[in-house]
Amino acid sequence: MTDTAPAPERDTEAGRLLFARPFIFVKGCVTIADLPPADRTEVAFAGRSNVGKSSLINALVGMTGLARTSNTPGRTQELNIFEAADAPLRIVDMPGYGFAQAPKDKVAQWTKLIHAYLTGRPNLRRVYVLVDGRHGPRANDLTVMNELDAAAVSYQVVLTKADKPSKAELDKVIGATQAAIAKRPAAHPELIVTSSQTRAGMEQLRAEIAALLAS
């Protein structure tokens, strides 16, 4: 099954150059007021707890320890901000939704923060919704997509951990995910299928982000 279309060559090269520079952790934000000025394009990464957001961000920027990884769901508890000094791009790592080993009031606080960010950040160009490539969209994922559709916030689904299932299993998940987003108004029509372990899909993801900056 063909799950993605190749990125134009110019976008691929622009993506390579964009992420050839070092990114740094800027700050963790627990309220909207903590966010940096809306002075550059932002892309955000959202997903269920333990879907592999931090690992994917590290693979995207080609650095092993930029975003902290953990096997404990709910480790990311803030909006974590990453920037490169000379790039017009800001990466936002969002708290995982769904199960988290944290008090309910804390989870409610994260949920409120996520909602406020997604619906009120003027320079947010795209949300990358990470979905586990072994399972496809779960109820929590669909709820987030509903909210993004309602807020008219552009998003694109990224399947993670694509090295884990068999090809047949992955093809089945790809088909189910494409069906789930087919009629969603704010969803990008193409999936990006990735593996942080093998680096599969990173070139396409970089190219997509570079194209956003050029548009």
Which tens digits make up the pLDDT trace of 162-195? Answer: 999 999 999 999 999 999 999 999 999 999 999 9
Please list the residues that pair with 87 across neighbouring strands.
none
Buried-exposed string 142-162: b where 16+ CB fall within 10 A, e elsewhere = eebbebbbeeebebbbbbbbb
Residue 100 has pLDDT above 60, yes or no: no
Cα–Cα dist 129/137, whole Å = 10
What the block records as the tokens of 207 is 């190219």
* Domains (range + CATH), the chain: 9-214 (3.40.50.300)
3-state secondary structure 179-200: HHHCCCCCECCCCEECCCCCCC
CB atoms within 10 A of CB 9: 9
Each residue's pLDDT tens digit, 134-160 = 999 999 899 999 999 999 999 999 999
What pLDDT sits at residue 131? 97
What pLDDT sits at residue 178? 97
